A and B are shown apart, each in its own frame.
Chain A
Amino acid sequence: MDASPELVPTRDIDIEVPLLTRVEGEGSLEFTARNGHIEKLQLCIFEPPRLFEKFLEGQDFTEVPHIAARVCGVCPIAYQMTSIRAMEKVFGVPENPWVHAMRRIIYYGEWLQSHALHINLFAAPDFLGFGDALEMANRFPEAVRRGMQLQSLGNDMLRLLGGRSVHPIGLRVGGFHRAPTKHEVSDLVDKLLAAHDMVREFAVWAVALPCPDDEQDYVSVAIRHPREYGLNEGRLVSDAGLDIDFSEYPQHFREHQVAHSTAHYSMMDGRSYFLGPLARMNLNFDRLPLEIQDFARDLGLVFPARNMFRNVAARVLECYLAIVDSLKILQGYKLPTRPWQDFTLRAGVGHHCTEAPRGMIYHRFEINDRGRVIAATMIPPTSQNQARMEQNLHVAVERFGLAHSDDELRDLCEKVIRNYDPCLSCSTHFLKLRVNRA
């Protein structure tokens, strides 16, 4: 994406993208360039505040998972799981091995359905030059069908433990309301076995997509666990030396408001940082099963990677992980005596982080001795990535060259933003450009 000398513009550029159309929120993008340099490049999220943290105040702890799930229609498990674990920290509930394993299964389900959907329907048309997934499906029906099957398998995993994929209801403080029967687990194992070769084919296809090179200097932040690929438990680490307990999050991460966005910006020790599949892969590649590490090397993948578009490869390797690790867990499935652990209510403050499909999510809950919420804080990955996205756009656009046409600039911006799979970039055609050239 290097700019050739002839592409250095002699004109001023004012580009306004008034509406990033999407489902989970609304935003816009605008940049102004003078004398070949970007003066302003802002990703503006103007979604009204949703006030969920305030809604939770005064609620009984048993209501929290159901309300938290409503924050996001795409990744309800992330909100449920993080709030549940934060409250379990307050009540002193350790995870037993069965609950821990089943929580990984349901979270893998969310990863698989979200990643497969993103790669298949949103990222791939970008890289292959199709206007949308429908156009791509007419040309590559088998590839699209395979992605849909993996997405569907992810939803099956969600239903196994969540009861339904629509705002699942199976999770509770202490574990799950119900343990799946052996028959239900056996059915899912059959589907996972059938998907094993399919996900490898999906990975080969996705890694071969003609993604741009977008080498960037950034700091990855993710959960790291002593033995597992970071997901639900562990410590928060970065490749800049951070290694903290989740309870130390407020001491290192600070949110602030900016005039152009209703989403808070977040900085780690004063600088932007990067969350999501590539950040996780950069920090946890050695925690993947050897089968997946070898497969990645065979595909020529090397982590840590600086090319932001390696996010696609990281996502597809996480799809593979979801299937391999779920098979390992479920092939040894045993019915528990009871699918939850008892606990005693007590007052206190609990912090927890988990890895949503789009990156790390942080929750803090303050609970009184009757189990009611005094205060809640929920920091989603998209707002944490917002500052990094703007920096990414800035560098990518300058390297690309401002003399490119508006359509080419819009196309690049769409790819860069969509690569983060933020809630605000969900639709396939989300940038409507209004251009004013001086």
Chain B
Amino acid sequence: MTILVAGLGSDQGADRFGWEVIGALETFVLPALVTLVACRSPAELTSLLLSSRYAIIIDAFLGMGPPGHLSIIDPDSLEDFELCGGGGAHGIGVVEAIQLARALGYPIDHCQIIGLDVTKPDMRLESAWVPMAVSKILAILTNHLQIC
């Protein structure tokens, strides 16, 4: 069982956030049990969660600002956020993918979502946002690995 770090996104503007964070994390030497995945669609997420013991999901969301604000989102309150990857391919969004994993026995408290507030769908991805998220994720991973 791995520790999953999954970045959701697309190649459009600030929605690239999830993929860019994964790209940045790939430049670090991480423990072998950490799996980094840039997700093409939330439909991939369920099976990835099911093969992990702990997961960090990264996505951009349309919030009230300020742009670039990072939030740790509780999976149970995910429906209150308008995630950029929310609709997803095939009608399966992040919410549905996580609900499906939960229905299949995935312990939802083993999952954290890091959301970047991009405020508007056409927002540019600012270069400072990615390292900020990378630092946060590395801290979470370090903490988690120490506990384990």
Enumerate chain A interface residues (CB-CB to B < 8 A): 21-24, 70, 73-74, 117, 121-122, 133-134, 137-138, 141, 144-145, 148-149, 151-152, 155, 164-167, 426-430
Binary per-residue interface labels of chain B (6-22) against chain A in the complex, 1 for a CB within 8 Å, 0 otherwise? 00000100000001000
CB < 8 Å neighbour of B43 from A24, A121, A141, A145: A121
CB–CB B90/A117 < 8 A: yes
Q: Which residue of A lies closest to B39 (CB)?
A: A166
The reply on B38 being an interface residue by CB < 8 A is yes
- A117 in contact with B43 given A70-B11, A138-B103, A152-B51 (CB within 8 Å): yes
Q: Which residue of A lies closest to B51 (CB)?
A: A152
- A427 in contact with B44 given A134-B96, A141-B104, A166-B39 (CB within 8 Å): no
- A121 in contact with B90 given A137-B103, A167-B11 (CB within 8 Å): yes
CB neighbours (8 Å) of B44 from chain A are: 151-152, 155, 165
Bound CA–CA A429/B87 (angstroms): 13
CB–CB A148/B46 < 8 A: yes
Bound CA–CA A165/B44 (angstroms): 10
Bound CA–CA A145/B47 (angstroms): 8
CB–CB B90/A122 < 8 A: yes
The reply on B108 being an interface residue by CB < 8 A is no
CB–CB A23/B87 < 8 A: yes
The reply on B89 being an interface residue by CB < 8 A is yes
CB neighbours (8 Å) of A117 from chain B are: 43, 90
Subset of 24 A-B contacts with CB under 8 Å: A22-B91, A73-B89, A74-B41, A74-B89, A121-B90, A133-B92, A134-B96, A134-B99, A134-B103, A145-B104, A145-B105, A148-B104, A149-B47, A149-B50, A152-B44, A152-B48, A152-B50, A164-B38, A165-B38, A165-B40, A165-B44, A166-B39, A426-B90, A426-B91
From residue B33, how far is it (CB to closest CB) to chain A in Å?
A: 14
From residue B87, how far is it (CB to closest CB) to chain A in Å?
A: 7
- A167 in contact with B89 given A141-B105, A148-B46, A149-B47 (CB within 8 Å): no
CB neighbours (8 Å) of A164 from chain B are: 38
The reply on B88 being an interface residue by CB < 8 A is yes
Most chain A beta carbons < 10 A, residue from B19, B37, B91, B96: B91
Binary per-residue interface labels of chain B (91-130) against chain A in the complex, 1 for a CB within 8 Å, 0 otherwise? 1100010011001110000000000000000000000000
CB neighbours (8 Å) of B103 from chain A are: 134, 137-138, 141, 144
CB–CB A144/B104 < 8 A: yes
